[in-house]
Amino acid sequence: MTRTSAPEDIGDVVQYKVSGGIALVTLNRPESRNAVNGAVARALAWIVGEVDANPDIAVAVLASGTPGIFCAGADLAEIARGGGADLVHPHNGFGGFVRAHRSKPWIAAVDGAAMGGGFELALACEMIVASDRAQFGLPEVKRGLMAMAGGAIRLPRRLPRALAIESLLTGDPISAELAAAHGLVNRVVAADVLNDTTIRLAGRIARNAPIALRESLKLARAADGGDDAALWEASDAAMMRVVTSADAREGPLAFMEKREPRWSGH
């Protein structure tokens, strides 16, 4: 993937840092409840490319810098000013994120409300860790609209069909408790330990072999509604790429030598 220069305003609206194989991506517009404007979309689109291109990153965390707020969705003030098109990246879709082609996993750390496009950002992630005060909702139908940034597609894949349709058609929010009961989120924790819990989960992923992570994630994505015969063929091809890699030799060797593996990603 080609790496490009960072948007000049990236640090103002989205903070980005890398440590220990983890990219921490923090929404930073508290005055607008982290609503997505053009600057956020440009920043997230650039960060997605950076995460995929950087071999030192295994996993990314999407979080909020403001306790009790995840993301209120689209910035209606910017839309009212005629800037609605800026919220949708030409390749990555809404927020520069929801339709992005990503080879690495993302975890959303959701505290407080994830509404509309904010929920769709979280649904685009592979995993969600929620605080006990988190709420998830797609209220677009209450305003004569619909969830157009992947919510109507992804929510029925993450919840039982009847519950997903109820949420989409009523626009009512889903509590953290209900989300956990039906597997929409990976876990629910107290708000004051949300970010630490999410980083620990990301760290458990980051310790593993990059090529095995990449191939496992690719196959898991394809498994959603895929044909069994095609999936077995894809699984066999993925297995060959993994078992013939240098990392597949390094893993057992490190185990025998009682040391941490030194992954090459090849």
- Which residues does the annotation mark as catalytic? 120, 140
Strand partners, 60: 23, 106
Q: Tell me which residue has tokens 């927020």.
A: 95
Sheet of 22-27: strand order equals 14-19, 22-27, 59-64, 106-110, 127-131, 187-189
Whether 14 and 63 have beta carbons less than 8 Å apart is answered as no
DSSP string, 196-233: HHHHHHHHHHHTS-HHHHHHHHHHHHHTTT--HHHHHH
Angstrom distance (rounded) from CA 188 to CA 181: 10
Tokens found for residue 262: 């030194």
Helix (H, G, I), strand (E, B) or coil at 105: coil
Whether 25 and 162 have beta carbons less than 8 Å apart is answered as no
Residue 210, phi then psi, degrees to nearest 5: -55, -45
| Measured CA angle at 67 (ends 62, 71), to 5 deg | 50
Angstrom distance (rounded) from CA 128 to CA 155: 13
